[in-house]
A and B are shown apart, each in its own frame.
Chain A
Amino acid sequence: MPKTAHVSARMRQALLLAPSLIFLVVFFVMPLVDNSSRSFMTEDGSLTLARYGSFLSDRFYLGIIVETVVLSAAVTAISVLIAYPVAYVLVRKAGRLSGPIIFLLIAPLLTSIIMRTYGWQVLFARRGLVNQWLVTDLGILDAPLRLLNTPGLAIAALVHVLVPFAVLSIASVLQGVDRRLEEGALMLGASRFRTFFEVTLPLTMDGIGTGAILVFMIANGSFVTLVLLGGGFQTLPLLIYQQFNTTRDFALASTMSTILLVIALACLWLQLRLVRRQGA
């Protein structure tokens, strides 16, 4: 009797999982597999690695990969540098204000990426709000600045979107750091500055790691921001888009998608290792 109850409980669990599982398989896993498999097949349907060989030996394409990774790394570094102080204030100083601060952090994520990026265009266009302030209202400058389509603005826009992820990862780890540890260091003669570098920072490295990987992964795959704000970057997602829409070289696009996917999976693997070490 208890055994049947057990079995039916498992059945119920399976049934509850089924809709989301089916949805994911049909609309996520299958297209992904279909897409990736295209990169491993020749025109007549036999297996090949030739595309990867020629892609990875082409200096232009290698340059694209490097540029993608470097851009993501830069965005990641800036995001973490901005996010740490914010997380610190959020956890340690904000008190009752921490709710509103979290809201402000998450609010940008609730608007569509198109809307958000368009907002940047409105603000920073040649005759946008910022230039209007600088030239007309404040009179600081004689001629409007070229802000749109500069690398700086594209990076700033990416950082703007990604900082909340870093803040939340760091804050959640910082929350768990026992303040008595810092007090203990102070009692032993460490200044506040040294206490931070000797105790607080090492103990929050996991949060920084998780946040950085998250930001890096999303930056790696970011597309809309770079399309709309330009900046002259040539990254994998942009090139994939070109191959699908302009050149219509689906096989090459699939090859690049798979490479992007591998980078993402490598990041996920790193993150899992971090989390597991944290749990140990």
Chain B
Amino acid sequence: MTNDPSALTLTAISKKFGGLVAVDDLDLVVEPGALVSLLGPSGCGKTTTLRMVAGFETPDSGQIRIAGEDVTRQPPNRRGLGMVFQSYSLFPHRTVAENVAFGLRMAGASKQTQSDEVRRMLDMVHLTGREDMFPAQLSGGQQQRVALARALVVNPRVLLLDEPLGALDKALREQMQFEIREMQQRLEITTLLVTHDQEEAMSMSDQIAVMHGGRILQLGAPNQIYDRPETAFVATFLGTSNLFAGTVMPHGYLDTVAGKLPLPGPTPDRSHEMFTPGATLTLSVRPERVVLGPDAASLPQGLTGRIIAASFRGSYAAYRIALSDSETEITAYRQADASLGQTGLSIGQSISLGWPIEDSVIVTDAEPQE
């Protein structure tokens, strides 16, 4: 534990099923007390990665360490982990209290310890008084809380959450996101979360690892991933993005189908070679960064277009704009103006648009080294 401060370390993990590569040379370090999400579409390898950490799958190569200890080949019951499954997986033939006490009983805890701990955990997840109910008598959210209590009661070294909120409806999901995050931070429990829901990942994580094709494409804090996506895949998987692919021209411009667009300057992670004239790049612009109307006049892109679709979404409105002189369409969000109750733009209207240069991000192509 002393020579390895991280709670969970995956080193060069690979796993194949038949000829199919599920996880490809993956490295990940989770610091103590942090919540890291593995986020990606189905088939990206996130679940396989979690199952290898849990011990249900053995990696073909690589090493998994928990608190410094090599557990790569340890059976799941010796790893000292807690896990919450999407389907809750509560034992249907046992009461709430028996479910929560299960891990303690397996560890040989005394009856007294069991009942004390069960009471404490059920109190923490606001289920006091339901000890003798069976899982089938509880609502989905309550079952999820029991599952959480059952996983946490044994003081796991790492908590694994496998799409824990996937089976809940939207309102409850948001509430549980806050609850789990709050509890995780209070108990300072190292957590690995697997999800395909970007909102869930963003609202709960210290760090998000966006996965695709068995690899981590980008690892970083939620705002970092959102504001500075490195690849077109990350830019479009997390939120919406307008992508402009083109060829670099002299003096910092990109020649795209939408026209000549100014490039942002080099940043530490965007080397100078990328800006060599003739190189191909993609520019990503978030819809909420697109400025519409007269305010766009001072912006360097000098684009004009026609609104072809609009949809009101409560706190903001989304517009689809067809650019003049090209086939390109752009998505733009605009905050709903409280005083007008409307955003004041109508379909068919011609409009000028642009964005501050620093709000555009250079991304590489989606498929890395394939």
Contacts and interface: CB of A to CB of B under 8 A. Distances in A.
Interface in A175-193: 178, 180-181, 183-192
Contacts of B90: 184
Given A180-B85, A183-B54, A183-B56, A190 B91 contact: no
B83 A187 contact: yes
Contacts of A183: 54, 56, 76, 83, 85, 89
B121 interface: no
B93 A187 contact: no
Nearest to B83: A187
A187 B91 contact: no
B102 A185 contact: yes
B76 A186 contact: yes
Interface residues of A, number: 19
Contact of A184 (B75, B80, B85, B93): B85
A251 B89 CA distance: 58
Interface string A189-216: 1111011001100110000000000000
B54 A187 contact: yes
B87 A186 contact: no
B154 interface: yes
Contacts of B81: 187
A151 B87 CA distance: 50
A188 B106 contact: yes
Contact of A190 (B54, B77, B87, B92): B77
Contact of B77 (A191, A199, A202): A191
Interface residues of B, number: 25
A188 B87 contact: no
Given A202-B93, A203-B92, A203-B93, A186 B85 contact: no
B151 interface: yes
B76 A187 contact: yes
Contacts of A195: 77
B164 interface: no
B150 interface: yes
Contacts of B150: 184, 188
Interface in B277-323: none
Interface string B45-89: 000000000111000000000000000000111001111010101
A192 B103 CA distance: 14
B107 interface: yes
A185 B94 CA distance: 12
A191 B242 CA distance: 52
A183 B81 CA distance: 12
Contacts of B82: 187-188
A189 B89 contact: no
Interface string B237-265: 00000000000000000000000000000
Nearest to B156: A187
A128 B106 CA distance: 53
A187 B92 contact: no
A184 B83 contact: yes
Contacts of A192: 75, 77
A188 B117 CA distance: 15
B135 to A, nearest CB: 11
B77 A181 contact: no
Given A189-B106, A189-B107, A190-B106, A184 B89 contact: yes
* Candidate in B76, B80, B85, B151 with the most chain A CB atoms within 10 angstroms: B76
Contacts of A185: 91, 102, 106
Contacts of B80: 189
Nearest to A184: B89
Interface string A159-186: 0000000000000000000101101111
A207 to B, nearest CB: 14
B91 A181 contact: yes
**Which 8 residue pairs across A and B have the least CB separation, nearest first?**
A188-B103, A189-B106, A180-B89, A184-B89, A186-B76, A187-B83, A190-B106, A186-B77
Given A181-B92, A187-B83, A199-B91, 20 more contacts: A180-B85, A180-B87, A180-B89, A181-B89, A181-B91, A183-B54, A183-B85, A183-B89, A186-B56, A186-B75, A188-B82, A188-B102, A188-B106, A188-B154, A189-B80, A189-B103, A189-B154, A190-B106, A191-B77, A194-B106
Interface of B: 54-56, 75-77, 80-83, 85, 87, 89-93, 102-103, 106-107, 150-151, 154, 160
Interface of A: 178, 180-181, 183-192, 194-195, 198-199, 202-203
